[in-house]
Amino acid sequence: MFDLTAESTLSLSQAADLLPPGRGGARPTLGCVLRCVLKGAKSPSGELVRLEAIRLGGRWLTSREALQRFAERLTPLLDGEPLASPRTLNQRRRASERAARELEQMGI
Protein backbone atom coordinates (compact mmCIF):
# COMPACT_ATOMS: atom_id res chain seq x y z
CA MET A 1 0.00 0.00 0.00
CA PHE A 2 1.26 3.44 -0.75
CA ASP A 3 1.97 6.12 1.86
CA LEU A 4 -0.71 8.80 1.69
CA THR A 5 1.61 11.37 3.28
CA ALA A 6 4.64 10.73 1.07
CA GLU A 7 3.23 10.08 -2.41
CA SER A 8 1.33 12.30 -4.83
CA THR A 9 -2.26 11.14 -4.51
CA LEU A 10 -4.69 10.89 -7.39
CA SER A 11 -8.33 9.99 -7.70
CA LEU A 12 -8.92 7.00 -9.92
CA SER A 13 -10.37 9.23 -12.63
CA GLN A 14 -7.22 11.39 -12.52
CA ALA A 15 -5.15 8.19 -12.77
CA ALA A 16 -7.17 7.13 -15.84
CA ASP A 17 -6.40 10.49 -17.45
CA LEU A 18 -2.66 9.88 -16.99
CA LEU A 19 -2.70 6.56 -18.82
CA PRO A 20 -2.08 6.42 -22.58
CA PRO A 21 -4.83 5.40 -25.00
CA GLY A 22 -5.33 1.71 -25.63
CA ARG A 23 -6.36 -0.15 -28.75
CA GLY A 24 -8.16 1.99 -31.27
CA GLY A 25 -7.21 5.16 -29.38
CA ALA A 26 -9.73 4.58 -26.58
CA ARG A 27 -8.86 6.28 -23.31
CA PRO A 28 -8.83 4.12 -20.13
CA THR A 29 -11.98 4.60 -18.08
CA LEU A 30 -12.55 4.94 -14.36
CA GLY A 31 -13.94 1.38 -14.43
CA CYS A 32 -10.73 0.10 -15.99
CA VAL A 33 -8.60 1.62 -13.23
CA LEU A 34 -11.01 0.36 -10.54
CA ARG A 35 -10.69 -3.18 -11.97
CA CYS A 36 -6.90 -2.87 -11.67
CA VAL A 37 -7.41 -2.05 -7.98
CA LEU A 38 -10.03 -4.67 -7.17
CA LYS A 39 -9.21 -7.57 -9.51
CA GLY A 40 -5.69 -6.77 -10.70
CA ALA A 41 -3.93 -8.08 -13.79
CA LYS A 42 -1.68 -11.06 -14.39
CA SER A 43 2.04 -10.41 -14.67
CA PRO A 44 4.21 -12.29 -17.19
CA SER A 45 5.05 -14.79 -14.42
CA GLY A 46 1.35 -15.50 -13.83
CA GLU A 47 1.23 -13.63 -10.52
CA LEU A 48 -1.82 -11.46 -9.85
CA VAL A 49 -0.77 -7.81 -9.48
CA ARG A 50 -3.13 -5.17 -8.12
CA LEU A 51 -2.83 -1.41 -8.38
CA GLU A 52 -2.14 -0.04 -4.90
CA ALA A 53 -4.99 2.18 -3.70
CA ILE A 54 -6.68 3.20 -0.48
CA ARG A 55 -10.28 3.90 0.32
CA LEU A 56 -10.76 7.26 2.01
CA GLY A 57 -14.33 8.16 2.79
CA GLY A 58 -16.39 7.17 -0.21
CA ARG A 59 -13.62 7.34 -2.77
CA TRP A 60 -10.55 5.45 -3.91
CA LEU A 61 -7.14 7.11 -4.12
CA THR A 62 -3.95 5.93 -5.74
CA SER A 63 -0.69 7.68 -6.62
CA ARG A 64 1.63 8.33 -9.54
CA GLU A 65 4.21 6.18 -7.77
CA ALA A 66 1.71 3.32 -7.36
CA LEU A 67 0.93 3.50 -11.09
CA GLN A 68 4.67 3.28 -11.81
CA ARG A 69 5.11 0.23 -9.54
CA PHE A 70 2.04 -1.43 -11.09
CA ALA A 71 3.40 -0.92 -14.62
CA GLU A 72 6.86 -2.18 -13.64
CA ARG A 73 5.44 -5.37 -12.09
CA LEU A 74 3.41 -6.05 -15.26
CA THR A 75 6.34 -5.45 -17.61
CA PRO A 76 8.35 -8.58 -18.54
CA LEU A 77 12.10 -8.52 -18.07
CA LEU A 78 13.74 -8.33 -21.45
CA ASP A 79 17.37 -8.72 -20.39
CA GLY A 80 17.62 -12.34 -21.48
CA GLU A 81 16.64 -13.95 -18.19
CA PRO A 82 13.90 -16.53 -18.66
CA LEU A 83 10.61 -15.74 -16.96
CA ALA A 84 9.56 -18.04 -14.16
CA SER A 85 6.61 -20.13 -15.23
CA PRO A 86 3.59 -20.23 -12.92
CA ARG A 87 3.35 -23.19 -10.58
CA THR A 88 0.97 -25.97 -11.49
CA LEU A 89 -2.06 -26.81 -9.37
CA ASN A 90 -0.21 -29.82 -7.87
CA GLN A 91 2.86 -27.70 -7.06
CA ARG A 92 0.70 -25.12 -5.29
CA ARG A 93 -1.16 -27.85 -3.38
CA ARG A 94 2.08 -29.52 -2.24
CA ALA A 95 3.55 -26.19 -1.16
CA SER A 96 0.39 -25.41 0.80
CA GLU A 97 0.45 -28.82 2.51
CA ARG A 98 4.15 -28.40 3.32
CA ALA A 99 3.50 -24.96 4.84
CA ALA A 100 0.58 -26.35 6.87
CA ARG A 101 2.82 -29.12 8.27
CA GLU A 102 5.53 -26.58 9.20
CA LEU A 103 2.99 -24.34 10.94
CA GLU A 104 1.57 -27.32 12.79
CA GLN A 105 5.05 -28.30 13.99
CA MET A 106 5.52 -24.74 15.26
CA GLY A 107 2.24 -24.99 17.14
CA ILE A 108 0.51 -22.34 15.11
Question: Does residue 85 have a pLDDT over 70?
Answer: no
**pLDDT tens-digit series, residues 32-81:** 999 999 999 998 888 899 999 999 999 999 999 999 999 999 998 777 66
Q: Which residues are bridge partners to 39 per DSSP?
A: none
Residue 20, pLDDT score = 92
Task: Report yes or no on 1 lying in a domain.
Answer: no
pLDDT of residue 100: 93
Q: How many CB atoms lie within 10 A of CB 36?
A: 24
Rounded to the nearest integer, the mean pLDDT of the chain is 89
List strand residue ranges (DSSP E) for 2-75, in order: 9-11, 41-42, 48-49, 54-56, 59-63
Residue 80: what pLDDT? Answer: 63
Q: What is the pLDDT of residue 87?
A: 77
Q: What is the domain count for the chain? A: 1
For residue 3, being part of any structural domain is answered with: no
Domain coverage including residue 77: 9-106
